Amino acid sequence: MFVIFYYLLALFIYLISLPFLFVLMFKNKYKKSVPARFFLYNNPPFKEKRYWFHSCSLGETKALRPIIEKFDKVNISVITNTGYDEAKKYKNAEVRFLPYEIFLPFWVKPCKSLVVMEAELWYMLFFVAKRRCGKTLLLNARISEKSYPKYMKFRWFYKKIFENIDIVLAQSEKDKQRLESLGAKYVEVVGNVKSYFSPEITTRYKKAKPLLILASTHKGEEDKILKNLDMGEYQIVVVPRHPERFDEVYELLKNYGNVTKLSETCCVNECELIGDLILADKMGELVNLYAVSDVVILGGSFVDNVGGHNPIEPAFFNKPIISGKHIFNQHALYNEVEGIVICDESEIKTHLQNLRPTNIKNSVNMDKIIEKIR
């Protein structure tokens, strides 16, 4: 039987990975998630039978907000530390890390519906939930053009997963076609949940001159972009994607001038941005910065191993957006925004002379999503 073979394989992988997991436990990035997921430390099953939402990390968890707000109480499971911290912000939610698959048959309790975001296709999760929950759904489902051939090589495996998914809510018609070719059934197109955005401004920033945001940058991008800017023309705020890079990026920025830290100058509801080069070393400030920015350069797109980041948030404020060309994970969201400039880093200066606002084409069907979950 496939499920028995799969479980034994997962158990074997777990056992041989134990030394590596013990090492990861002592790294800041994994110090909460690894003990919880792989050793069930402070990670008991959910207490109540509720609607259960599962997402991987920060972006997916934030995107769930307009849906979660429609329910009195929910359960949320996540994979990463940033996802966990975001999920804890929901006052109506009980939050857990999703355990590794060998624990799920003993950990998963009955729920009203299991709703899994995007590409979190864990076989054991859906297999167990199919038998203990009212129904199982894959929400905001997508298969990127780049990853589709890889999925097709393991079509036989994904077909097994989709046998345990009752409803698939896809981002686009193209995603629907790809998902159906992998074995998905009952697929409906409802749009991209991440294009439904209602921001809450928690800090109001005051700027000294036009403000340029380097948003969600990854290793190697800060240098690429800053080398192609005229320092002094803008106040520049650099917002690294991962907090563990704050110290590294701070040292790098010293090569481009005097650097101030957001955490040292801004700690109240109204804050004056000080200096021409600022490191945003606080989580959760990007939306606040977007609100007062004059132009956004969106990271994750000037290196070839990330695939881009969500352009919806800056576009909500109609900010000019400049992006790199490596956006293979975000084509659906980029298609929801009009006016994004896509270029190489060497062309940034040219495009800064001819900025234009962006605009969101909001096509997500939130009512249908809530109806399917219930």
The pLDDT tens digits of the residues spanning 289-336 come to 999 999 999 999 999 999 999 999 999 999 999 999 999 988 878 988
C-alpha 370/C-alpha 74 separation (Å) is: 13
With bands split at pLDDT 50, 70 and 90, how would you rate the model's confidence at 195? confident
Res 267 pLDDT > 80: no
Q: 214 and 183 in one domain?
A: no
Asked, for residue 352, whether it belongs to a domain, the answer is: yes
For residues 179 and 143, the answer to whether their CB atoms sit within 8 Å is yes
Sign of CA dihedral 220, 223, 226, 227: negative
C-alpha 62/C-alpha 330 separation (Å) is: 16
pTM: 0.71
pLDDT averaged over every residue in the chain? 94
Q: 56 and 20 in one domain?
A: yes
* Per-residue confidence (pLDDT) for residue 199, from 0 to 100: 82
With pLDDT > 70 as the criterion, what percentage of the chain qualifies? 98
Nearest CA among 282, 241, 280 for reference residue 259: 280
* Per-residue confidence (pLDDT) for residue 304, from 0 to 100: 95
Q: What is the mean pLDDT of residues 186-202?
A: 87
The 3-state DSSP class for residue 298 equals strand
What CATH number does residue 252 fall under?
A: 3.40.50.2000
Q: 142 and 105 in one domain?
A: yes
Taken as a whole, the chain contains a residue count of 374
For residues 10 and 73, the answer to whether their CB atoms sit within 8 Å is no
* Per-residue confidence (pLDDT) for residue 366, from 0 to 100: 87
Return the H-helix or E-strand segment holding 170: strand 167-170
Asked, for residue 298, whether it belongs to a domain, the answer is: yes
Asked, for residue 132, whether it belongs to a domain, the answer is: yes
Asked, for residue 5, whether it belongs to a domain, the answer is: no
C-alpha 191/C-alpha 315 separation (Å) is: 17
The pLDDT tens digits of the residues spanning 28-37 come to 889 899 999 9
Q: What is the mean pLDDT of residues 270-274?
A: 88
C-alpha 268/C-alpha 188 separation (Å) is: 45
For residues 288 and 278, the answer to whether their CB atoms sit within 8 Å is no
For residues 187 and 140, the answer to whether their CB atoms sit within 8 Å is no
Q: 189 and 146 in one domain?
A: yes
Q: 120 and 152 in one domain?
A: yes
* Per-residue confidence (pLDDT) for residue 29, from 0 to 100: 85
Nearest CA among 99, 101, 79, 98 for reference residue 10: 101
Q: 343 and 228 in one domain?
A: yes
What CATH number does residue 120 fall under?
A: 3.40.50.11720
Asked, for residue 3, whether it belongs to a domain, the answer is: no
Q: 255 and 173 in one domain?
A: no
With bands split at pLDDT 50, 70 and 90, how would you rate the model's confidence at 363? low
Asked, for residue 347, whether it belongs to a domain, the answer is: yes
Asked, for residue 1, whether it belongs to a domain, the answer is: no
Q: 170 and 214 in one domain?
A: no
Q: 173 and 50 in one domain?
A: yes
With bands split at pLDDT 50, 70 and 90, how would you rate the model's confidence at 198? confident
Range of the domain at 54: 10-194+366-373
Asked, for residue 74, whether it belongs to a domain, the answer is: yes
Q: 214 and 170 in one domain?
A: no
For residues 49 and 110, the answer to whether their CB atoms sit within 8 Å is yes
Q: What is the mean pLDDT of residues 125-150?
A: 95
Q: 156 and 239 in one domain?
A: no
With bands split at pLDDT 50, 70 and 90, how would you rate the model's confidence at 348? very high
Number of domains in the chain: 2
And the tokens for 352? Answer: 């800064």
Q: 117 and 45 in one domain?
A: yes
